[in-house]
Amino acid sequence: MVERHVAPRTDQRRQIGRTGTYGGRMPQLITWSSEAELTSALAHKTGLGDHFQTENVPLNGSNLESSLKHGGVAILKLGEGRYLGLVNGRILHHDLSTRRVSWEEIADSVLEGSGFGSMGSGLDRLLESCGTAHSERARARRAILCQRLHARSLGTLRVLSADPGTGFFRQWRDAGLIRTAAGFVVAHFLETLLWLGVWWAAGQAAMTGRLDAGWMLGWVLLMACLVPARVWTTCSQSRLTLGTSGLLKQRILAGALRLNPEQVASEGAGRFFSRVMEIQSLDAAALSGGLMSAVSLVEAVVAGSVLWLGAGGGLLAALFAGWAVGAVLLAWRYGRARMRWTDERLALTHDLTEKMVGHRTRLAQEAPERRHSAEDSALEEYHGISARMDRSAVLFTAVVPYGWLLTGIAGLMPAFIGGESAARLAVTLGGILLAQQALQRFTGGAAQLASAAISWRCVAPLFHAAGNMERPQRCEVPPARTVADAADVAFRYPNGSRAVLDGVSLRIERGDWVLLEGESGKGKSTLVSILAGLREPTAGLLTSGGLDRRSMGTALWRKRIAAAPQYHENHILSGTLAFNLLLGRGWPPASQDLADAEQVCRELGLGPLLERMPAGIQQMVGETGWQLSQGERSRVFLARALLQQSEMVILDESFAALDPENLRQAMECTLKRAETLLVVAHP
């Protein structure tokens, strides 16, 4: 597809180069007539390949400047059939070359293309009457227009970014964090040199007894230079930490959504809650601990060099090297103690969560005198492990840095008694203090790295699951009457002793309304998950429109076949009601999407609910929002499936929680909006 751009036809190339209402010619911008071709060309040019995600950013006067300046790789629609490709402040040509343009040129094109450019002529006359300099009129005109249109829609910027499951280092590089990390290293190295210079100047003046204006001026200049260096170091570290943390959380969230359903079901709520707790500490501990350890390594090398060249000579350097080896051994001992403590803590969290989920069963079936016996023994074991870890922590974090300070000063005494020069003694004392600072950073960083390494054991499955990306398919699905065709489909759960489905054949054509009945445990929900693309059959053939799921691609398959799973496998997410209804559409929604969602809700009998909600369809729902009844939740799940506008809708016991009146309304709405329907119910 990209090769077609290399030698484009003249009718495919457009330029915006006309005299508009801005008092001059509009900027010459190459546009594309096909959004799909432009998307493919951008992905090829920027190396995104087949695995990327898109985000629609609504443009208005208030965010026009910031969106165009920091949009990255994006597609800007300038009008019907006119698309502009942006690559970090450059526009993409049809031969895949790029040309730098200012955001002002693009902003003028957006304002002109959105129909608000006609306001520019009146503003020109106003600015001329005010005596505004001709060179400043364009900037003033643009600022006034953006202010007037701060809440008016100017179009949509479609931003392309790498999928969270791609290589993490590449995401780190694309986010500009390599440059940030290099800046942090340079800033910290400069800060260390300035700090040594401050100590050298102060020691030279103090030890020689000469405190003249020249030395004081040099010391003040070094201290003044140390302040911006420290600010640079802190800002670089903050940007690096926040950027890496954001990328890590995006990848872990993507991994959670790509986990195998059987893996999710087998671990339970308690274990996943434990993982979430570890995720909260992983990014901060890993980044802060890694940076502190890296900084401590640099400081240790510098301190060792200073001690080697200072008054103590090889004695102090060897003493520091031995002390550092001992610090590493104590760090390993502390890490093992913390690992045992974390395992015990996560086990307690898992056990507590599962007991909270099943507390009604415990109240009904467990004898009161036995409810806390297991908890008491577990807490006693946890208390003993915590005490051992605390002793290791005190020995590691307190003895290592402050013990070295006493040892280093004692090692400097022979040189002091031997009459070494004041300058060498001052520099050596600074080296001892720098070594103590390095050890203090190392103890703090190593403790955090140990915590991060232990947390990584829980988070690693989610991190690696994000890489389970399916290659997007570019095939076109031919029009076909058959929506779903299963032939001799079989399915067996991992480590299952028998097949849940065996030799199932089913054909559903466009316009069919099918009712599937069966007793519990007979595989109805398993068949639904296979038809919806959540699971793959272990045997047999399943096609839609003549193509199987691998040929069509999971995304397109799930777009063609929408499903509302059973109540316990469907969820209301913490967010607005509109967000929960429109999960199968683009976000942020268009006004028509919100109107469709409200109309479907009223057809399903949720009109009184919308009227009771203060914010209507924008009301926050979920665990911390407006609480929905079971019947209301069931109809929200049903509306979510209908609003996807798929070719076939599958409802797995979606009507079980409805009373007769609500059931009648829900059936009427479903039959009206679903062209092809499969309903699963108990007989």
Provide the pLDDT for residue 108.
78
- The answer as to whether 96 is a domain residue is yes
Distance CA 507, CA 531 (A): 11
Q: Could you tell me if 653 and 518 are in contact, meaning their C-beta atoms sit under 8 angstroms apart?
A: no
pLDDT along the chain (683 residues), means of 10: 35 41 51 84 82 81 79 81 84 85 80 65 72 75 78 80 84 85 86 80 68 75 86 87 84 83 71 74 65 73 79 78 87 88 83 74 70 77 88 85 83 73 73 83 80 81 80 65 90 81 90 88 87 89 86 83 87 91 83 92 93 92 86 93 92 88 92 92 78
- The answer as to whether 275 is a domain residue is yes
Count Cα neighbours of 174 within 13 Å in the Cβ-side half-sphere: 20
Q: Could you tell me if 569 and 548 are in contact, meaning their C-beta atoms sit under 8 angstroms apart?
A: no
Backbone angles phi, psi at 519, to 5 degrees: -75, 165
Question: Do 73 and 180 belong together in one domain?
Answer: no
Question: Do 112 and 187 belong together in one domain?
Answer: no
Provide the pLDDT for residue 604.
93
Max Cα distance, the chain (Å): 101
Task: Say which residue the tokens 């005596």 belong to.
Answer: 131
Question: Do 396 and 514 belong together in one domain?
Answer: no
Provide the pLDDT for residue 210.
66
The residues pairing with 542 across neighbouring beta strands, listed in sequence order, are: 486
Provide the pLDDT for residue 596.
94
- The answer as to whether 473 is a domain residue is no
Question: Do 351 and 406 belong together in one domain?
Answer: yes
Question: Do 47 and 103 belong together in one domain?
Answer: yes
Question: Do 403 and 444 belong together in one domain?
Answer: yes
Indicate the pairing of strand 153-162 with strand 98-100: unpaired
Neighbours of 156 (CB within 10 A): 17
Joined together, the tokens standing for residue 211 give 């405190």
- The answer as to whether 476 is a domain residue is no
Task: Say which residue the tokens 């720098």 belong to.
Answer: 434
Going by C-alpha positions, the residue among 437, 448, 446, 456 that lies closest to residue 332 is: 446
- The answer as to whether 647 is a domain residue is yes
Distance CA 433, CA 341 (A): 33
Which of 419, 439, 465 is where one domain is finished? 465
312 CB burial (10 A radius; 0-12, 13-18, 19+): buried
Provide the pLDDT for residue 26.
44
Q: Give how many domains the chain has, as a whole number.
A: 3
- The answer as to whether 301 is a domain residue is yes
629: domain CATH number is 3.40.50.300
Task: Say which residue the tokens 């296979």 belong to.
Answer: 530
Which of 162, 197, 218 is where one domain is finished? 162
Question: Do 146 and 89 belong together in one domain?
Answer: yes
Q: Which helix (H) or strand (E) element contains residue 627?
A: none
Peptide bond into 589 cis (omega under 30): no
Question: Do 503 and 413 belong together in one domain?
Answer: no
492 CB burial (10 A radius; 0-12, 13-18, 19+): middle
- The answer as to whether 472 is a domain residue is no
Joined together, the tokens standing for residue 465 give 């699951």
Please give the radius of gyration of the chain, using alpha carbons only, rounded to the nearest integer.
Answer: 33
Q: Could you tell me if 215 and 269 are in contact, meaning their C-beta atoms sit under 8 angstroms apart?
A: no
Which of 127, 162, 197 is where one domain is finished? 162
- The answer as to whether 474 is a domain residue is no
Dihedral angle sign, alpha carbons of residues 368, 370, 371, 372: positive
Residues 6+ apart with CB under 8 A from 489: 501, 503, 504, 505, 506, 527, 530, 537, 539, 540, 541, 542
Count Cα neighbours of 541 within 13 Å in the Cβ-side half-sphere: 10
Provide the pLDDT for residue 473.
58
431: domain CATH number is 1.20.1560.10
Containing structural domain, residue 423:
171-465
Provide the pLDDT for residue 14.
42
- Counting residues of the chain whose pLDDT is more than 70, the rounded percentage is 86
Question: Do 522 and 448 belong together in one domain?
Answer: no
Provide the pLDDT for residue 649.
93
What pTM was computed for the model? 0.70
Give tens-digit pLDDT for 85-101.
888 888 888 888 888 88
Distance CA 46, CA 92 (A): 11
Question: Do 127 and 204 belong together in one domain?
Answer: no
Provide the pLDDT for residue 156.
81
Question: Do 495 and 517 belong together in one domain?
Answer: yes
The residues pairing with 52 across neighbouring beta strands, listed in sequence order, are: 162
Question: Do 181 and 154 belong together in one domain?
Answer: no
